Structure 1
């Protein structure tokens, strides 16, 4: 409770878990705050299961040492402390790293979180931070919080499915928790629970395709990116003056921010600046502020490597129609690996999911499951070209009619093929 009541943790109430996804899924108003509480609760249930069913008898037996409970629970609760406003979009624009900032919040003596953790022991904040950066010596604790099937992912899949109103992210959490068990190398799953784990993998795959990679959400992210990019340009040209000057964003425009600067930001701060910028005389800043606040995303179409050659011409057509292509067009790709086998030579090796057989031997999940094997190592997603909705309409000025007609021909006549005929209306 002391950690929950710190200003650093309470700030998470003001940051949406799914960023701009609420523009598509109206119920997705849940926050990083509720997600962190959920990850804590799932981790608590893991600890309870391990302590009841797999308590350590002697050092080095690979079973659960309940002295690890406190560090595991604190890491679970605090794992997302470093997220900024609109989460990954903000991170991409300003080059921040939410995991690095999470560790700094935990280990910086100036924060309330640090002072609470240090009451346990002077080195306890560093222990909690080491769980988040995967250097903590007990792999069971690390895998509770970060692995291919961890408390973080299990909570956000179920929570996001519930709040978006979709059914894709549902799986049997109770069953998965029941078949989890510790071993010397981390966490494994009993063979009789393999189908529940398969269901989780498929649910995750579906959520990425249907919710996290939704083309309209990505269109709103493009709008947000271009809005903040334009504000930064105006600031650098000394044109963003009072009352439009975003004092709390200036350290980020100048790339000279500190932890206190970062903790002052949340979704509401950015939205307040956007409200002001709706009245700013610069037409680009004004238009993108209006687009973001009033849900006017750019439209999009998928394209393939073979049709990328058409994009320069399409950008030129957008420019000919009176739109600045640097702002009113964009390429956006979203890809995910539903499941990946452990590869120690990769830049970011994944912890594979181990199935424990009745004789105690371990088998990697995809070697036992034909379903998981079919999607293992296969990146899924698409690459999209974003453009103004007006390019799909009928121009009132005959001067633009040939431009619009050529642009639409590239889309509808087979050059850039939509996945279905409704895609252009999304």
Structure 2
């Protein structure tokens, strides 16, 4: 369905450190950016606790979302200029899909809560479901703005997030193994963390993208640019996203929120100062207004207040988080995993309640997935179109990608208070502790 889209009388630009000028041409996009739900993303960090390790990583979901919009706009421009549809069944780009794609790109992260994935784990929320709710609820400014264009536009945009939208080209622009979302966050996160190995040739990749009936393919001549992107993604996960210190702060945050929730569940938190912001989450009775009130600043304010809590654990964990006192960690394997319960008990005997001061943290990523008919869910594999018009899957012609395909990379770590690394003579530190210390000495403690 073609929409009558109001254009801005004069193009607006946002000056961006990654993409230079970001161009806003449609009134609906500018209105969405100015909505209160989208402005909330200024107050949610893109990388959560990573800024405790890479001090420049203070950028927000707001800046990332606008970047995803701009990459999607460039894809649409390329498709319309070079691969416009001539008839309904030719599998090329129908520019009537542009506004759905642009809105979905801009709004794809609008449902992220404070500290994103850590918050989701504790309070059992799902940012993609909340994104769809924010888009489709008649209580939001975003919904009203989309409805001014067309009554069915909110549902269409939400279906792109849900990956049920009937046009696979639009879905794959936003969600695939090489999409606008990933391309922006890799470049943006590399820029703000100062990690140059996260940089790849965005312009070359965009030029090599082509629409077809089942989604998006890449010209075979651009294979090396796609390889470079996948290697950059691999490096960013290993060196930035899975950094042990960032995860150590994430563990502190997880245990802090868990302690607060446990105190509430036993009617002990209400005795101390507690506003209404977190009450609905503790009670598991959250509506959209409750969800949209929260951001990183709100949680940090709670943590500051809780530094004076009468509960020693809540007080200590709040101080550790605000003052960057991460838990230390050691990598473990199937050979040493049997030591972990004993080590947790040793930590508790040393004066730290193990439920709040020990944790396992597992981070694995699949750099590139290939189709497996035995899997219930498969990622969209990357296809190359050759000079004769035939398609070939990337890993079959790229030894680099083949080496990454279907192989999870990452590690498993046991986290504990830093003081457990000091020399101890107490009898509670038994042979299992000494054995684990030997394991620690043979592996770098980070």
Same fold flag (TM > 0.5): yes
CA RMSD of aligned residues (A): 1.4
Unaligned runs of 5+ in 2: 1-29
2:237 is the alignment partner of 1:195:
no
> 1 CA distance for matches of 2:107 and 2:39?
11
Please name the residue that 2:361 is paired with.
332
Deviation at 1:36, TM superposition (A): 0.2
- Alignment equivalent of 1:139, drawn from 152, 159, 168: 168
Partner of 1:157: 186
TM value normalised by structure 2: 0.91
Residue 298 and residue 418 in structure 1: after superposition, are their counterparts in 2 closer, same or farther (change >3 A)?
farther
Q: Does 1:49 align with 2:57?
A: no
2:379 to 339, 350, 355: 350
Alignment match, 1:385:
414
Q: Secondary structure at the match of 1:119?
A: helix
Asked if the contact 2:186–2:236 (Cα under 8 Å) also holds between the matched residues in 1, the reply is: yes
TM-superposed deviation, 1:344: 4.8
Quick check: 1:309 aligned with 2:309?
A: no
Identify the residue that residue 205 of structure 1 maps to in structure 2. 234
Whether 1:79 and 2:108 are equivalent positions in the alignment is: yes
Structure 1 pair 300–370 and aligned structure 2 pair: CA distance change class (3 A): same
Which position in structure 1 is the counterpart of 2:150?
A: 121
One of 308, 311, 326 as aligned partner of 1:297: 326
1:409 equivalent in structure 2: 434
Q: Map Cα deviations across residues 237-291 of structure 1 (whole Å, 9 max, x no partner).
A: 2111365214211111111111110000000000000000000011100000000
| Mean CA deviation greater in 214-223 or 337-346 | 337-346
Q: Is the 8 A contact 1:393 1:404 kept in 2?
A: no
Kept in 2: contact 1:317–1:407 (CA 8 A): no
Residue 95 of structure 2 is matched in structure 1 by: 66
TM-score of the superposition, structure 1-length normalised? Answer: 0.95
Is this contact kept in 1: 2:346–2:433, CA < 8 A?
no
SS at match of 2:31: coil
| Deviates most, 335-344 or 79-88 | 335-344
TM superposition shift of 1:217: 0.8
Q: How does 1:213-252 map to 2 (within 5 A)?
A: 213-241=242-270, 244-252=273-281
- Decide whether the 8 Å contact of 2:339 with 2:432 is kept in 1: no
State whether residues 394 and 404 of structure 1, in contact with CA within 8 Å, keep that contact through their aligned partners in structure 2.
no
* Matches of 2:291 and 2:154, distance apart in 1: 20
* Aligned 8 A contact 2:272 2:310 in 1: no
CA distance in 1, matches of 2:116, 2:289: 17
Task: Give the structure 1 partner of residue 317 of structure 2.
Answer: 288
Aligned residue for 2:390?
361
Does the Cα contact within 8 Å between 1:391 and 1:407 map onto a contact in 2?
no
CA drift of 1:96 comes to 0.5
Q: Which residue of 2 aligns with 1:180?
A: 209
Output one character per residue of 1:59-93: Cα deviation in whole Å (capped at 9) or x when no partner: 11111111111000000000001000000110111
Distance, in Å, in 2 between the alignment partners of 1:74 and 1:5 is 13
| Distance verdict in 2 for CA 1:81–1:285, change over 3 Å | same
Of 354-363 and 244-253, deviating more is 244-253
Q: How far apart are 1:320 and its partner, in Å? A: 1.9
Q: Secondary structure at the match of 1:2?
A: helix
Aligned partners of 1:48 and 1:109: how far apart in 2?
31
Secondary structure in 1 aligned to 2:410? strand
Partner of 2:129: 100
Post-superposition CA distance 1:211-238 (Å, at most 9, x none) = 0011111111111111011111111221
* Structure 1 counterpart of 2:290: 261
Query: Does the alignment pair 1:321 with 2:346?
Result: no
Structure 1 unaligned segments of length 5 or more: list them.
none
The CA deviation at 1:406 is: 5.3
In structure 1, distance between residues paired with 2:311 and 2:236: 39
